[in-house]
A and B are shown apart, each in its own frame.
Chain A
Amino acid sequence: MTRIDDTFARLKADGTKAFVSYIMAGDPDYDTSLAVMKGLPGAGVDIIELGLPFTDPMADGPTIQLAGGRALDGGMTLEKTLQMVRDFREGDATTPIVLMGYYNPIYSRGVDKFLADANEAGIDGLIVVDLPPEEDEELCIPAQKAGLNFIRLATPTTDDNRLPAVLTNTSGFVYYVSITGITGAAAAEAKDVGPEVARIKAKTDLPVIVGFGIRTPETSEAIAAVADGCVVGSAIVSEIAEGKPVEEVLAFVKSLADGAHRA
């Protein structure tokens, strides 16, 4: 049982949907980013997705690209991202942290070393965008063995034939990508997402969380209502990009979390 499994067990007992928020580690700088992160659980965030900056984020739209650029310009690295998790864990032992990013920084560090460091720092799960099931031996299977959840993306192009492959070796939850496209793009529609979530849930007992294209408390509520929860990333990162004070960013996060929790 990871913190992720514990969190979903608690939410299920409460009859509440999960709210997951994404921020980029080190955006716009280490201290601000850590301050936002520390405030997320208080703003109602159930699971934190922490973006690992990468120079070439091929699945991300301009908002997340620029956030990664700001972080890298400020000297952010994988090592400092792990340090941020350690700093966060000093004051919070329960909120699950999912590291989300691309494979090369992890591969560059060495998979075994990375997994040991991630465990030690207090990371609970991984979402690695450019590792489909076909490449499970790279990181997914070693991560599961190391006790970390490997959370897979399912997308509108993941048809019924392919779904079992995507669900095998997935743990923690399934992240359903609501649109074909990049982060921060088109708006998600609950009427399209609902049947897709049902299709996935018919094949797995894992919670299904929906992300991409959710920007407002209303959408947060509508999408969470047809799934086990929702993820917001670009909309929060945009607030940080505008240079808003940490309290304002967290107030916005709270409005989104309240939306999801109303569902």
Chain B
Amino acid sequence: MPDDLLNSFMTGPDEKGRFGDFGGRFVSETLMPLILELEKQYEHAKTDDSFWAEMQDLWTHYVGRPSPLYFAERLTERLGGAKIYLKRDELNHTGAHKINNVLGQIILARRMGKTRIIAETGAGQHGVATATVCAKFGLKCVVYMGATDVERQAPNVFRMKLLGAEVVPVTSGRGTLKDAMNDALRDWVTNVRDTFYCIGTVAGPHPYPAMVRDFQAIIGKEAKEQMMAAEGRLPDTIIAAIGGGSNAMGLFFPFLDDKDVQIIGVEAGGKGVNEKMEHCASLTGGRPGVLHGNRTYLLQDEDGQILEGHSISAGLDYPGIGPEHAWLHEIGRAQYVSITDTEALDAFQLSCETEGIIPALEPSHALAHVAKIAPDLPKDHIICMNMCGRGDKDIFTVARALGWDMSGA
């Protein structure tokens, strides 16, 4: 790690929105003035106490923060090694970490006088969170969702409709998160005057990666305080799943300068990270490129065409990753690994059986890595993993994968 270059890992991005070589503002001219205005408004809000007071109030009374830090005793016993804590962000209102960020962006949108909110969604958790907060504030909400995801995440589609959002199935490409993001950008470029694009992850043009990270950093801030209260020290290892990487960045960011804390991000290995490219592991199986407003690691062919990844988890089914993760990967501050569909399914069941927690398939990937490394670690080694979403939305996918017949249920 180039210690001489950096006194802190927490100062990025620079004024061009770069984390090292990653990030930036690769958008069409029509959107550029909007992005600059958003950056200005966010820079102002960031240091505005009343903005954070409003956030804190909603986090406490609407979302249910702080989320607990839970010692997973039976899981720890079962794995027989490191002591495992789960940061319970799946207990948030709407069932995932996504709402932490949505609240911030919607408060900002309201301050900017925007009346129409658009969002992209993969698993549907960000779409549900956006529809929820829009319902709360009486804002019009349009959610772009890949047609494939509309099918495999039907419960979340229905939730969004109940919450008054319009869900637009996207049929371009293979109909997953990447295509939904394309169509959301096309909507934004068409409706620039009244519309706010609420991005669900730490990707997209500057200032989104930094802004979403700052809103999600509440996860890591709380985890740090809670760990000090529980153990009197910081964890040895923190672990989170990564699609675009917002829950991971939220957990990691407050720990970046705690150099004794090992940081591990878990990508979706799909059917295995190899030349068949049936995975979504951008860092372990991709290379740098430019898509959706930022330079980052992407799954792409030798001609620079973007590949459709594969993951059992719709929330991880994205061929890119937030630029700050790309940077942390290159400088070596965080380590990135991958977990296959099968390993994630095993971990899903392990969590159900040992802790009575039905996890989403996304954090099941993180848990699978915990299950891999914990047995070989000493009993005084503390792991903190972000349980970033609950699995209600995934039971149909899991039933299918495990060969259960739910048709008569």
Which residue numbers of A lie inside 8 Å of B, CB to CB? 53-62, 65, 72, 77-79, 102-109, 129-135, 152-159, 162, 166, 177, 180-182, 185
Q: Do residues A135 and B26 form an inter-chain contact, with CB atoms below 8 A?
A: yes
Q: How far is the CA of A131 from the CA of B293 in the complex (A)?
A: 9
CB neighbours of B30 from chain A (8 A)? 59, 153, 155-157, 177, 180-181
Q: Do residues A65 and B172 form an inter-chain contact, with CB atoms below 8 A?
A: yes
B106 within 8 A of A: no
CB neighbours of A53 from chain B (8 A)? 305
Residue of A nearest to B298 (CB): A104
Of the listed stretches B184-192, B352-360, B377-385, name the one at the interface; the rest are far from the partner chain.
B184-192
Q: Do residues B26 and A105 form an inter-chain contact, with CB atoms below 8 A?
A: no
For the complex formed, measure the closest distance between the CB of A206 and the CB atoms of chain B, giving whole angstroms. Answer: 15
A-B contact pairs, 10 of them (CB 8 A): A61-B186, A102-B290, A104-B290, A108-B304, A133-B32, A134-B32, A157-B31, A157-B34, A158-B32, A180-B192
Q: Do residues B25 and A105 form an inter-chain contact, with CB atoms below 8 A?
A: no
Interface centre among A77, A154, A157 (most CB of B within 10 A): A157
8 A-B pairs closest in CB distance = A108-B304, A105-B304, A181-B190, A155-B30, A132-B32, A55-B306, A130-B26, A77-B303
CB neighbours of A54 from chain B (8 A)? 304-305
Given A108-B300, A130-B290, A159-B33: A103 touches B26 (CB 8 Å cut-off): yes
Q: How far is the CA of A241 from the CA of B189 in the complex (A)?
A: 25
Interface of B is mostly: mixed
Interface centre among B191, B192, B295, B304 (most CB of A within 10 A): B304
Q: Which residues from 259 to 317 on chain B have a C-beta closer than 8 Å to any C-beta of chain A?
A: 289-293, 295, 298, 300, 302-306
Q: How far is the CA of A79 from the CA of B305 in the complex (A)?
A: 13
Q: Do residues B26 and A131 form an inter-chain contact, with CB atoms below 8 A?
A: yes
Q: Do residues B291 and A56 form an inter-chain contact, with CB atoms below 8 A?
A: yes
CB neighbours of B173 from chain A (8 A)? 55-56
Q: How far is the CA of A129 from the CA of B189 in the complex (A)?
A: 12
B28 within 8 A of A: yes
Q: Do residues B304 and A106 form an inter-chain contact, with CB atoms below 8 A?
A: yes
CB neighbours of A154 from chain B (8 A)? 29
CB neighbours of B34 from chain A (8 A)? 157
Residue of A nearest to B171 (CB): A62
Chain B 174-214: CB-based contact to A (< 8 A → 1; otherwise 0): 00001000100110011111000000000000000000000
Q: How far is the CA of A59 from the CA of B135 in the complex (A)?
A: 29
16 further A-B pairs in the complex, CB-CB below 8 A; given A56-B178, A103-B26, A103-B290? A58-B182, A58-B292, A59-B189, A65-B172, A77-B303, A102-B290, A104-B298, A105-B303, A132-B26, A132-B28, A132-B29, A135-B26, A153-B30, A156-B30, A180-B190, A181-B189
B24 within 8 A of A: yes
CB neighbours of A152 from chain B (8 A)? 29
CB neighbours of B29 from chain A (8 A)? 132, 152-155, 157-158, 166, 177
